Structure 1
Amino acid sequence: MKDLIETIVTPLVEFPEDVRVSTSEEDNRITYFLSVHKSDMGKVIGKQGRVAKAIRTVVYAAGSSQQKKIFLEIVE
């Protein structure tokens, strides 16, 4: 899943080397934390959050086969 997130986000940003995905796993949920360069934050979120919503939709669909809920948070 980390590879999928990196594959989606890397072409969108100016500083692809700063794309980081970390994971936090609990009993019934997995949270992925996406971190990008400060100047790329707007590109990843998009106008009115449309790009972020699209990324989350793809990630949630890819993780639907797992028995845990998937969450994606974009952090600074």
Structure 2
Amino acid sequence: GLGETIEEVLEVMRDLRAANVDILTLGQYLRPSPKHLPILRYVTLDEFAELKRRGYEMGFSHVESGPLVRSSYHAADALA
């Protein structure tokens, strides 16, 4: 939502896996107030689905990917 490209997100995901990160959450930046940075682009549901698929392909053990996902989203499921 702040202008990052899909390739940039994939690059960060690769870096996270290289650092042995196992659980990944991807969400949409939502502007909390007019004082905060504006949203440059809304990521589509198809893009979130593709990022989730790619995350599992990269070896993450748990991936949550969607516009309203936050770091604690379904945390209990990820640790079960």
TM over 0.5: no
Q: State the structure with more CA Rg.
A: 2
- Kindly indicate which of the two structures has a greater share of residues assigned to helix: 1
TM-score, scaled to structure 2: 0.33
Q: Which has the higher contact order (CA 8 A, sep 6+)?
A: 2
- Kindly indicate which of the two structures has a greater share of residues assigned to strand: 1
